[in-house]
Structure 1
Amino acid sequence: MVSEVMKRYIDRLLRPITRRLSAMVVRAVVVDVVEDLQRQGLQVRMDSDESGDNIERFQQYGFSSVPPADSEAIIAALKGNLAQRVALAVEKKELRPQGDSLDVFIYHAEGHSIQLTKDGKCIISVTDAILEATSSFTIISPETLIQGPLHVTGGISTDLGIFATGAIQSGSSITAAGILYGADLEANNISYLGHFHIYETNKATEGPSS
């Protein structure tokens, strides 16, 4: 049977090892973020009120984020060396959007997000969206629905035609290489079907006929 003296002796021998093992992976709170480095650095406060500066945060290729202050982080010491601490994960749990099973989110602290859901849907929820393409922008879809007014600063060309259930209005000219179809055409508040001329005999002409 091990005596109390021997227990204390073993505990004293193992204490440095135990302390190092317990400090290998710890929780921390982000205090500040350093962005002007090739790899993002964090200033954190750990569970034991110990602070850590320039903690390297490894992020997945193709994704980068700047976490807000008071985010939670998991800090690991490489090879048990406390001088080589890195951040494995950072999260602000209060900001995490909640979805259904298998949903995937890219989200911002202010609430806008991109959500991938079941049935192949992608939901983009933002205040303003800017899609910038230096060469071309192509939409491949059997049908495209735009709700609300559409403003185009350049010309509009079409291979099949423009079909409208309402009026087509223009502050400038409308040019067509083919035929313009419509229930009526109006220019300068003058209707095509309601347009008449006066004969020399002061008799009005009939309106255009089909």
Structure 2
Amino acid sequence: MSAGALMGRVRMMLARAVIAGVNDLAGVQAVQLDVLDEETLDDVERFGTYGLASHPHPGAEAILACIGGLRSHGIVIGVEDRRYRLKVEAGEVALYDDLGQKVHLTRDGIVIESTKPVTVKAPHAIVDADRVDLAGEGGKAVARVGDAVANGKIVEGSAKVFAA
């Protein structure tokens, strides 16, 4: 291989691309990419991070790695979508989507936000906290089974669970 051909392959090893479509039906997600002006690549494998799954929208940006500098053997090694990117402080981590939903590990604690219902599916769930406020802070103590009730009013409620 000539030095010029070798340099061409080196230059083709990494490229920026725009996702044009996603096929999430196979064992590995495949994407269609617009790479250079009038260069489209079909069925390019997208490698993700174990334990995290995402389905990017068309228009998201990708980093394409071409093994041996061959466009016929490309893999997507990273995807970003600046339209929806959540900005976090140094050291923070977040899981987020295009609807504004997020699980944010902040410097002050974990914040879960959603505009949709949040469902917990488990055979048993435990909340271990010094205080639980249902529907916001400032509510009255919630009665538990066995708490004192007199004349239809709760005389003694929980010291940990409150509801607005």
- With normalisation by structure 2, the TM-score equals 0.80
Query: Residue by residue, what CA displacement relative to the aligned partner does 1:138-173 show, whole Å, maximum 9, x if unpaired?
Result: 11112211116xxxxxxxxxxxxxxx669x8xxxxx
Higher strand proportion: 2
Per chain length, whose mean CA-contact separation is higher, i.e. which structure has more relative contact order (CA < 8 Å, sep 6+)?
Answer: 2
Identify the residue that residue 205 of structure 1 maps to in structure 2.
Answer: none
Give me the identity figure in percent.
24
Structure 1 consecutive aligned stretches of length 4 or more whose deviation exceeds 6 Å:
none
Is 1:185 equivalent to 2:142 in the alignment? Answer: no
C-alpha change, 1:165 and 1:122, in structure 2 (3 Å) is closer
C-alpha change, 1:142 and 1:46, in structure 2 (3 Å) is same
Measured after TM superposition, the shift of residue 179 of structure 1 is 7.8
Identify the residue that residue 155 of structure 1 maps to in structure 2.
Answer: none
Measured after TM superposition, the shift of residue 28 of structure 1 is 0.4
Is 1:142 equivalent to 2:130 in the alignment? Answer: yes
Query: Residue by residue, what CA displacement relative to the aligned partner does 1:69-125 show, whole Å, maximum 9, x if unpaired?
Result: 011000011133322100010110121011222111101111111110114x11001
RMSD over aligned CA atoms reads 2.2
CA contact (8 A) 2:9 2:68 kept: no
Structure with greater Cα Rg: 1
Query: What amino acid is aligned across from residue 38 of structure 1 in structure 2?
Result: G
Task: Pick from 73, 87, 108 the counterpart of residue 76 of structure 2.
Answer: 87
Unaligned runs of 5+ in 2: 154-164
Q: Any idea what SS the aligned residue of 2:100 has?
A: coil
Is 1:39 equivalent to 2:6 in the alignment? Answer: no
Identify the residue that residue 105 of structure 1 maps to in structure 2.
Answer: 94
Aligned counterparts of 2:61 and 2:73: Cα–Cα separation in 1: 19
- With normalisation by structure 1, the TM-score equals 0.64
Q: Number of paired residues?
A: 147
CA contact (8 A) 2:65 2:75 kept: yes
Identify the residue that residue 198 of structure 1 maps to in structure 2.
Answer: none
Aligned counterparts of 1:185 and 1:77: Cα–Cα separation in 2: 73
Aligned counterparts of 1:69 and 1:77: Cα–Cα separation in 2: 21
Aligned counterparts of 1:185 and 1:67: Cα–Cα separation in 2: 55
Measured after TM superposition, the shift of residue 181 of structure 1 is 3.4
Query: Residue by residue, what CA displacement relative to the aligned partner does 1:36-95 show, whole Å, maximum 9, x if unpaired?
Result: 110000100102431111110111110010001011000011133322100010110121
C-alpha change, 1:66 and 1:185, in structure 2 (3 Å) is closer
Identify the residue that residue 65 of structure 1 maps to in structure 2.
Answer: 54
Query: Residue by residue, what CA displacement relative to the aligned partner does 1:182-203 show, whole Å, maximum 9, x if unpaired?
Result: 3x338xxxxxxxxxxxxxxxxx
Task: Pick from 90, 113, 122 the counterpart of residue 125 of structure 1.
Answer: 113
Higher helix proportion: 1
